[in-house]
């Protein structure tokens, strides 16, 4: 059975089995989200729209699945080369950039509180990057040992 098993997930992370971990997480997501699709009424909406068996819809659906799988692999690789904290902060900075692009390109309205939040996230992400860069430079001067300790601490 594929439902959440934290020990199996941890073993996949520790053995660096990124493709298996991604496939496991995607299969679990499909099993866990299927009831939500039915309960939310989205299944009825899709079935009544008549697009479900159109080749263009199926191609887009498959393409989004492939991209989702690749994003999972990229996330895993980023964590294996940096740290979970760095991955989280880069994800938050990416979401901030997406919001900023939505405001600039599509003229989505934002409040002063939204703008302040975007600025705080951008500033915090920049400060984290500056501190990490300094730690890495310091570690490189020490022969790499300091870098490993800094990565394990974050």
In this structure, are 77 and 150 located in the same domain? no
Question: What digits encode the pLDDT tens for the residues 26-66?
Answer: 788 888 889 999 999 998 998 899 888 899 999 999 999 89
Question: What digits encode the pLDDT tens for the residues 116-143?
Answer: 999 999 999 999 999 999 998 998 888 7
For residue 76, pLDDT beyond 90: no
The residue from 22, 46, 81 where one domain ends is: 81
Say whether pTM exceeds 0.85. Answer: no
In this structure, are 56 and 104 located in the same domain? no
Q: Is residue 96 within 8 Å of residue 121, measured between CB atoms?
A: yes
In this structure, are 107 and 76 located in the same domain? no
Q: How many CB atoms lie within 10 A of CB 89?
A: 20
- What would the two tokens of residue 65 be? 């699945």
Sorted by sequence, the CB contacts under 8 Å of residue 103 that are 6+ apart come out as: 110
In this structure, are 106 and 76 located in the same domain? no
Mean pLDDT for the stretch of residues 58-76: 87
Mean pLDDT for the stretch of residues 104-125: 94
CA distance 102 to 104: 6
Q: Which of 47-61, 86-100, 139-153 has the lowest mean pLDDT?
A: 139-153
CA distance 5 to 121: 33
In this structure, are 76 and 111 located in the same domain? no
Number of independent structural domains in the chain: 2
In this structure, are 48 and 92 located in the same domain? no
In this structure, are 97 and 34 located in the same domain? no
In this structure, are 74 and 107 located in the same domain? no
- The whole domain housing 143 covers 83-154
């Amino acid at each position: 059975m594929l439902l959440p098993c934290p020990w199996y997930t941890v073993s996949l992370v520790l053995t660096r089995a990124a493709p298996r971990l991604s496939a496991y997480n995607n299969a679990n997501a499909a099993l866990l989200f299927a009831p939500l699709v039915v309960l939310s009424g989205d299944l009825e909406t899709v079935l009544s729209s008549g697009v479900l068996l159109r080749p263009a819809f199926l191609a887009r659906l498959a393409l989004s699945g492939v991209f989702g799988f690749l994003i999972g692999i990229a996330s895993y690789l980023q964590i294996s080369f940096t740290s979970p904290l760095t991955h989280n902060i880069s994800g938050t900075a990416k979401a901030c950039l997406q919001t900023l692009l939505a405001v600039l390109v599509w003229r989505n309205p934002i409040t002063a509180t939204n703008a302040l939040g975007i600025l705080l996230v951008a500033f915090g992400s920049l400060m984290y990057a500056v501190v990490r860069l300094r730690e890495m430079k310091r570690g490189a001067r020490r022969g790499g040992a300091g870098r490993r300790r800094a990565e394990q601490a974050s």
